[in-house]
Amino acid sequence: MILVYVAEGQALVWSAEDARRLRELHSLCGSPVGSLARQPRQNSRLGLPLRLLPEEASLLAERGLGVLVRAHGPEDAEPGREEKHRQLLEHLHSEQRQLALEEKREILQGLSERIRQGRQKKYAQKHQQDTGSEAADEVPPGPLKELEDLEQTFTFPLENTLTQIHTACPQPRQLTVLDWRVASADWPYPGERAHSLRYCVFKDLHAKGYRLTSGGKFGGDFLVYPGDPMRFHAHFIAICIPYKKGLPLQDIVTAGRLGSNVKKTVLLCSVREDETVVYTSLRWRGIQ
């Protein structure tokens, strides 16, 4: 069962395994909205959590493949979690510093002879320049001073510590199951006419084998793909309108021009009283 965490109308999937199952088994794509740990300031490639459209979350719940839950807030968290987290970071930092120190010592020991020869050469050149004599005392053998002082001079900043990034909550939390058919403060969509229209269209297109994402960037409700959006371009821009409701001519022209400019067919989608979906496609004449 896939857990969909709901808060303030947002449906989020935090588990990497659940996100994979959604895409591979259930043809539901969602959109990653989390920043990457190594690249927190870029927005071209994002990570977990995966944000689902309200229609995607509703479809999961209706088919029994997932459940909408609300996790208890920070006030219900386990006491002392921050102190435990700080202690864990200090322990990880201490272990990793010791490993990095040993690695640095091994590198210096392997290069010690080359370092000693290089210093001897520089010392001899300087002695010749100062005295005009080629004779010079050799650099005394033995461990390098850098190796002797390595414990005190070696630095390993705390921010360089490697830590595990959880793709699911590592601590058990109390969850409240939400009924996807009942409106609430966290799930306000049931009963909304616009959502009911969009959901009927989404469910019908999904049943026909298409994959859908948000169509906001192209002025529609959904972008409709023949397969995985990572492999295909969208073929359609779906715009949901109430059945038998008039549509201003300028809106039709605008949608048609937008579709032709981005090389996609515009679908005007309506739902009859018996919940069957009617599609009308818009395409400029002569556009191939």
Here the CATH number for the domain that contains residue 37 is: 3.40.1170.20
In a domain, 45, yes or no: yes
pLDDT on residue 124:
77
Calculate mean pLDDT across residues 172-180.
88
Provide the CA 211 distance to its chain's centre, in angstroms.
19
More confident site: 81 or 158: 158
Calculate mean pLDDT across residues 139-153.
68
152 and 49, same structural domain? no
Catalytic position from the list 122, 126, 233, 263: 233
| Most confident by average pLDDT, 43-47, 102-106, 196-200, 214-218 | 196-200
pLDDT on residue 95:
93
In a domain, 166, yes or no: no
266 and 204, same structural domain? yes
Beta-bridged to residue 266, according to DSSP, are 237, 282
pLDDT at 85 over 60: yes
69 and 86, same structural domain? no
pLDDT at 36 over 70: yes
Beta-bridged to residue 9, according to DSSP, are none
39 and 108, same structural domain? no
pLDDT at 171 over 70: no
In a domain, 205, yes or no: yes
Going across the sheet that includes 31-34, the strands are 31-34, 47-52, 10-13, 2-7, 66-71, 175-178
Q: Which of 160, 181, 216 is the last residue of a domain?
A: 160
pLDDT band of residue 242 (cuts 50, 70, 90) is very high
In a domain, 93, yes or no: yes
In a domain, 139, yes or no: yes
In a domain, 29, yes or no: yes
Task: Determine phi and psi for 3, rounding to 5 degrees.
Answer: -90, 125
255 and 212, same structural domain? yes
Catalytic position from the list 5, 199, 210, 225: 225
Calculate mean pLDDT across residues 105-126.
79
pLDDT on residue 144:
66
pLDDT band of residue 80 (cuts 50, 70, 90) is confident
288 and 203, same structural domain? yes
Q: Over the range 248-277, which residues count as b (16 or more CB within 10 Å of their CB) and which as e?
A: eeeeeeebbebbbeeebbbbbbbbeeeeeb
Q: Which of 160, 179, 205 is the last residue of a domain?
A: 160
Q: 189 an active-site residue?
A: no
Could you tell me the residue range of the domain that residue 70 belongs to? 1-77+171-191
Q: Over the range 208-227, which residues count as b (16 or more CB within 10 Å of their CB) and which as e?
A: eebbbbbbeebebbbbbbee
The contacts of residue 193 (CB under 8 Å, 6+ apart) are 242
User: Looking at residue 257, which CATH number applies to its domain?
Assistant: 3.40.1350.10
CB 42 within 8 A of CB 80: no
Instruction: Report the domain count for the chain.
Output: 3
Calculate mean pLDDT across residues 79-101.
87
Q: 264 an active-site residue?
A: yes
Q: Which of 35-44, 80-89, 141-150, 160-169 has the lowest mean pLDDT?
A: 141-150
pLDDT at 280 over 60: yes
More confident site: 116 or 33: 33
pLDDT on residue 61:
96
pLDDT at 7 over 80: yes
pLDDT band of residue 167 (cuts 50, 70, 90) is low
Cα Rg, the chain, nearest whole Å: 32
More confident site: 84 or 2: 2
200 and 65, same structural domain? no
In a domain, 165, yes or no: no
Residues 281 and 4: their CA atoms lie apart, in Å, by 34
Calculate mean pLDDT across residues 210-238.
95
In a domain, 198, yes or no: yes
pLDDT on residue 150:
81
Average pLDDT across the chain, whole number: 86
pLDDT band of residue 108 (cuts 50, 70, 90) is confident
Calculate mean pLDDT across residues 104-108.
85
Percent of the chain with pLDDT over 90: 50
pLDDT at 247 over 90: no
185 and 67, same structural domain? yes
112 and 62, same structural domain? no
Calculate mean pLDDT across residues 18-22.
95
112 and 44, same structural domain? no
Question: What's the distance, Cα to Cα, between the start and end of the chain in Å?
Answer: 44
pLDDT on residue 77:
55
229 and 88, same structural domain? no
More confident site: 52 or 172: 52
99 and 71, same structural domain? no
